[in-house]
């Protein structure tokens, strides 16, 4: 049954027509003539008829309700991010790990939902817990409707609560074992079945400064990677596996030196994660001679990035070694090809070095140096001494007794030997090309570290107790875990000719996916917004269907 427009001369009439089949043919019967179309439109009779009919169709009635409420504000909630990351949260077993530890304790609110909300905030809008409570009002997050600020404080304190003295076995000298450590270990053993052995771990640190005093012990003055030595800080150390997946996070006072941090981490991996033998990949600045000896006694391998300019042995003997390089990867044919790589092995005393050369980077280094020298010569002719403070210029300058500056051409020549090179020191039995490949994975991990620095900053931190600070920062570890899981799933689904999705685009697409609530009579409906392509791909990668465009909730 449908409405048909029938023209007769210059006029158009509306008819209600019904189709039925007679002897195998479709025959139309006119049930009613509604009248002239122009007169119905002019009198408003057509609208009255439609509104009268819509009472008997819930969907049409709903559309009419929307039309009547155009001037009224609608209740709108974002739902893309909560739905997607809640799925990953469950599939990684984080909810079950938390509920296992909290079993038997009565908090009067959902501790698991509170922690998930804090983690979601780190992924989308890093900031304080107070800001997170305001942020929560814009989201449709199941189970978090009644959360209050005190619930976030209690949840953070729970995560950072030190374990009893009898359970402090494996604690680092800088911080006690806490409940967050048990969660890390639980999550690690849940994942361990996915690989045969953890043959590589990558370790790096960053610092987070406080705008207040910080905790009782965590807020200390030290070397600031944020260039804020005037403020107290804490140090966050992150261990990642060979795929860049977070294993554990250490939270230490701000005066903890990198060189003293790596052994406690190795001890914890050995004792608490039951990793018997592993290859540690890090920068040399984190490892002293005593640390190297201890790692070797533990039976661990290491691959360390050497500091070419500051270590005399590397600078004078390794870099200047004249043995020929062996080509591993040739010059690129297009931008998507891997970077060119040549390697050679150099033995000095008891140290085994692997020298790596990227001819592409070498050409760039030469070009940059030539541009600096041209600019420097012109500036010195004008007597512009202000350029001396520039690090790029200073390395090529020397001064005489009268404090007149000039280009030191011997330094320029010496600098050429470093073009496109980096040097590794290792005690592994791996071939030189494999050592280089494993260290390049650290570069990828460092890139992850840089990209997710906003997750780890978590500023501003207003907490004043060590427990709540540890819990607040550790939520960033869980956020990094969820982010890594989503990126891996998207990569598996990506076609060869497709560009990888940018994280900012993924978040924007998930944030734009929401639902508006409409009430019609005694029924409530939710209307979903249009889904951007990044959101569609993210949901598909996680094996999820998008919510329906319209759904009834009451």
DSSP string for 484-529: HHHHHHHHHH--TTSPPPPHHHHHHHHHT-EEEEEEETTEEEEEEP
The phi-psi region of residue 23 (left if phi > 0; otherwise alpha if psi is between -120 and 50; otherwise beta) is: left
Are 342 and 359 a contacting pair, CB within 8 Å? yes
User: What is the maximum alpha-carbon separation in the chain?
Assistant: 115
User: Beta partners for 29?
Assistant: 18
pLDDT bracket for residue 509 (50, 70, 90) = very high
The least confident of 266-270, 287-291, 340-344, 355-359 is 287-291
Question: Which residue would you say has higher pLDDT here, 287 or 509?
Answer: 509
Q: Name the residue with tokens 């691959």.
A: 303
User: Looking at the predicted structure, is the pLDDT value of residue 454 above 60?
Assistant: no
Looking at the predicted structure, is the pLDDT value of residue 128 above 70? Answer: no
What burial letters (b/e) apply to 72-89, b meaning 16+ CB within 10 Å? eeeeeebbbbbbbbbebb
Residue with tokens 């409420």: 69
Question: What are the strands of the beta sheet with 514-520, ordered from one edge?
Answer: 75-78, 514-520, 523-528, 550-552
Q: CA 296, 299, 300 angle in degrees (round to 5)?
A: 75
339: nearest Cα among 329, 347, 324, 350: 329
pLDDT in tens, 98-127: 999 988 788 888 899 999 998 998 888 765
Question: Which candidate, 306, 292, 206, places its Cα nearest to that of 256?
Answer: 206
Residue 14 has pLDDT above 90, yes or no: no
Residues forming a β-bridge with 527: 516, 550
Backbone angles phi, psi at 300, to 5 degrees: -90, 145
Token pair recorded at residue 443: 């570069």
User: Quick one: 352 exposed, middle or buried, by C-beta within 10 A (0-12, 13-18, 19+)?
Assistant: middle
Instruction: Over range 363-368, report the average pLDDT.
Output: 89
Are 232 and 207 a contacting pair, CB within 8 Å? no
**Using an 8 Å Cβ cutoff, are 91 and 525 in contact?**
no
Average pLDDT over residues 361-371: 88
Q: 206 pairs with which residues across the strands?
A: 236
As a whole number, mean pLDDT of residues 490-508 equals 86
Residue 127 CA to residue 140 CA, distance in Å, equals 20
User: What CATH code would you report for 197-321+428-463?
Assistant: 3.30.420
Digit-coded pLDDT (tens) for 140-166: 888 888 888 888 889 999 999 999 998
Which string of DSSP letters, residue by residue, matches 175-240?
A: B--BHHHHHHHHHHHHHGGGSS---EEEEEEEEEE-SS---SSS-B----TTS-TTS-EEEEEEEE
Residue 313 has pLDDT above 70, yes or no: yes
Q: How far apart are the first and last CA of the chain?
A: 30
Query: Which of 13, 456, 479 has the alpha carbon at shortest distance from 207?
Result: 456
Instruction: Name the phi and psi angles at 391, rounded to 5.
Output: -60, -35
Q: How confident is the model at residue 374 (pLDDT cuts 50, 70, 90)?
A: confident
**pLDDT-based confidence at 452, cuts 50/70/90?**
low
| pLDDT digits 0-9 by tens, 409-439 | 888 888 888 888 889 988 888 899 888 888 8
| Helices assigned H by DSSP within 389-502 | 391-394, 409-415, 432-451, 453-457, 466-493
Q: How is residue 173 written in tokens?
A: 């000298």
Residue 194, pLDDT above cutoff 60: no
Weakest-pLDDT range from 284-298, 349-363, 373-387, 466-480:
373-387
Predicted pLDDT of residue 71: 45
% of residues, the chain, pLDDT over 70: 84
Query: Any idea where the domains of the chain sit in the sequence?
Result: 2-56, 197-321+428-463, 361-418, 509-552
- Are 169 and 237 spatial neighbours (Cβ–Cβ below 8 Å)? no
Position with higher pLDDT, 355 vs 298: 355
Confidence grade of residue 196 (pLDDT, cut at 50, 70, 90):
very low
Q: Is 93 exposed, middle or buried (0-12, 13-18, 19+ CB in 10 A)?
A: middle
Instruction: With CA atoms as reference, report the closest residue to 101 among 21, 182, 184.
Output: 182
- Cis omega before residue 277 (within 30°)? no
Among 24-33, 70-79, 200-209, name the one with the lowest average pLDDT. Answer: 70-79
Q: Lowest mean pLDDT: which of 44-53, 215-224, 363-372?
A: 44-53
């Amino acid at each position: 049954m449908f409405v048909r427009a029938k023209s007769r001369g210059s006029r158009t009439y509306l008819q209600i027509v019904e189709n039925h089949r007679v002897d195998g043919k479709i025959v139309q019967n006119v049930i009613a003539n509604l009248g002239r179309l122009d007169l119905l439109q002019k009198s408003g009779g057509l609208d009255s008829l439609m509104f009268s009919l819509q009472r008997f169709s819930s969907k049409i009635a709903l559309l009419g309700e929307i039309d009547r409420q155009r001037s009224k504000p609608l209740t709108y909630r974002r739902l893309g991010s909560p739905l997607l990351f809640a799925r990953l949260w469950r599939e990684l077993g984080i909810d079950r790990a938390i509920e296992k530890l909290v079993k038997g304790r009565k908090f009067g609110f959902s501790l698991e939902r509170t922690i998930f909300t804090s983690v979601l905030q780190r992924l989308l809008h890093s900031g304080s817990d107070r800001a997170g409570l305001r942020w929560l009002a814009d989201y449709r997050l199941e189970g978090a409707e009644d959360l209050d600020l005190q619930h976030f404080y209690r949840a953070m304190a729970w995560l950072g609560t030190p374990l009893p003295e009898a359970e402090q076995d494996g604690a680092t000298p800088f911080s006690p074992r806490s409940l967050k450590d048990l969660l890390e270990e639980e999550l690690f053993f849940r994942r361990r079945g996915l690989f045969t052995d953890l043959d590589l771990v990558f370790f790096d640190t960053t610092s987070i400064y406080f705008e207040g005093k910080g905790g009782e012990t965590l807020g200390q003055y030290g070397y600031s990677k944020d260039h804020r030595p005037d403020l107290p800080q804490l140090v966050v150390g992150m261990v990642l596996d060979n795929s860049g997946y977070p294993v554990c996070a250490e939270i230490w006072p701000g005066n903890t030196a990198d060189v003293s941090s790596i052994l406690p981490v190795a001890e914890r991996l050995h004792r608490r994660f039951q990793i018997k033998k592993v290859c540690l990949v890090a920068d040399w600045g984190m490892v002293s001679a005593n640390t190297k000896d201890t790692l070797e006694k533990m039976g661990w391998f290491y691959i360390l990035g050497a500091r070419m300019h500051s270590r005399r042995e590397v600078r004078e003997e390794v870099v200047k070694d004249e043995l020929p390089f062996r080509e591993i990867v040739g010059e690129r044919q297009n931008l998507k090809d891997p970077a060119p790589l040549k390697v050679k092995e150099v033995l000095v005393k008891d140290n085994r070095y692997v020298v790596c050369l990227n001819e592409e980077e070498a050409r760039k280094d030469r070009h940059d140096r030539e541009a600096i020298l041209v600019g420097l010569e012109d500036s010195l002719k004008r007597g512009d001494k202000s350029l001396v403070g520039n690090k790029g210029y200073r390395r090529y300058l020397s001064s005489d007794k009268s404090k007149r500056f000039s280009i030191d051409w011997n330094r320029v020549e010496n600098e050429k030997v470093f073009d496109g090179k980096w040097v590794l020191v290792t005690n592994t039995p791996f071939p030189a090309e494999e050592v280089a490949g494993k260290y390049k994975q650290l570069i990828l991990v460092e890139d992850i570290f840089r990209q997710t620095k906003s997750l780890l900053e978590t500023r501003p931190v207003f907490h004043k107790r060590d427990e709540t600070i540890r819990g607040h920062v550790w939520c960033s570890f869980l956020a990094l875990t969820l982010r890594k899981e989503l990126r891996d799933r998207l990569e598996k689904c990506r076609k060869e000719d497709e560009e990888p999705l940018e994280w900012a685009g993924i978040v924007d697409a998930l944030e734009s996916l929401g639902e508006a609530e409409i009430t019609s009579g005694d029924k409530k409906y939710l209307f979903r917004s249009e889904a951007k392509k990044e959101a569609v791909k993210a949901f598909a990668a996680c094996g999820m269907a998008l919510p329906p465009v319209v759904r009834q909730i009451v």
